[in-house]
Amino acid sequence: MRRGSIVRITIYGVLAGIVASAIAVLVPWLPTSASEEFDRIEFAFWFATVICIGVFAVVAAAIIYSVLKFRVQPDDDTDGPPIHGHTGLEIVWTAIPAILVTAISVVSAIVLARNDDAGPNPLRIAVTAQQFAWRFEYPGNEKVVSGRLVLPVHRPVKLTLHSLDVIHAFWVPQFGQKSDVVPGIETTLVITPTRIGKYPIVCTELCGPGHALMRGPVEVVRRADYEKFLVSAAGGGGEDESSGEAIFATAGCGGCHAFSPAGTDAQVGPDLDSIDPRGRPLDEYIRESIEDPNAVLVQGYQGDVMPNTFDKSLSDDQIDALVQYLVEGQKGK
């Protein structure tokens, strides 16, 4: 091959590499990391991306050079020269990709193993998913259950994930880690938050009509603020957690129903602002609709959409509080 050709191929390769690098770097493909685990995932991501850009540059250079150099004239109908392969070239283009793919596998395996390791003393929080809400149970002298996920910064957290009904998936984009939440088994997820702030929890498994609304906030706070949250949620806030308003939020009612006192406006299920009890006592009708949603169907809504598990997942006291909250929130009352 002549020197001129090598120079031209190199120039094409460098140009292709610059274009691909610009697309990789200038477009914000990933959210800003807020956990140690996501930092490692980003490393694996960039490790693979740099290799891909290199391979792309070589292939693009060969293609551009060939298209320009070996172009035939419009009236040239002759066959191309017969070529019988090139053993040296074939060994090179098999061996180099094999080495690169192996390197990506090794880096990914190390990242996966380290991202699964919570260390000797993680904070263990039990996460319960149900259509269409998240609930969190914190360790401590007093059991604290809340619809809010609050995490202390720089402390490894091991989430144990349970589902009461169908398959959900727990994901916080800024934490990187993601796991399915499967009924009947326990899955886990390790997160070590590094940045104080508020991020979204997103359900990423289609789990029913309220799936798109199955979201919640996670707050990463200072250690002292985490302790304060636990005290307020367990003590004075304990009452809060068992109020009708809190149960409406943690049971996920707002994922499907509009209810002005709770500030929700979802349209999956009937509006709860002005419930028509069909001549029956309002509280009795509401209780029946929570425990057995198919008993009476409001016109325009189908059965088997609302989970029929609330009589099991909520205690009698909780259902009482929820009924009370709904009765008091009726418009025109």
- Binding residues vs ligand CUA (CB under 6 A): 129, 132, 168, 203, 205-207, 211, 214
Q: What is the spatial distance between Cα 304 and Cα 308, in angstroms, rounded to a whole number?
A: 8
Which pair of tokens denotes residue 106?
């090794």
Of the candidates 60, 29, 63, which has an alpha carbon nearest to the alpha carbon of residue 46?
29
Closest distance to ligand CUA from the beta carbon of 189 (Å): 15
For ligand CUA, the closer CB: 19 or 182: 182
Min separation Cβ 255 and ligand CUA, Å:
9
Q: Which residues contact 177 (CB under 8 A, 6 or more apart)?
A: 35, 37, 38, 41, 115, 171, 189, 190, 191
What's the CA gap between 56 and 68, in Å, rounded? 18
Instruction: Name the residue nearer to ligand CUA (CB basis): 13 or 209.
Output: 209
Q: Which is nearer to ligand CUA, 162 or 211 (CB)?
A: 211
Helix ranges (H only) for 77-198 are: 87-115
Q: Count Cα neighbours of 31 within 13 Å in the Cβ-side half-sphere.
A: 14
Q: Least CB distance from residue 204 to ligand CUA, whole Å?
A: 7
The distance of closest approach from Cβ of residue 90 to ligand CUA in the complex, given in angstroms and rounded to an integer, is 48
Nearer to ligand CUA, 144 or 169 (CB): 169
State the nearest-atom distance from the C-beta of 129 to ligand CUA, in Å: 6
Measured from the CB atom, the residue of 132 and 325 that comes closer to ligand CUA is 132
Is residue 126 within 8 Å of 162, Cβ to Cβ?
yes
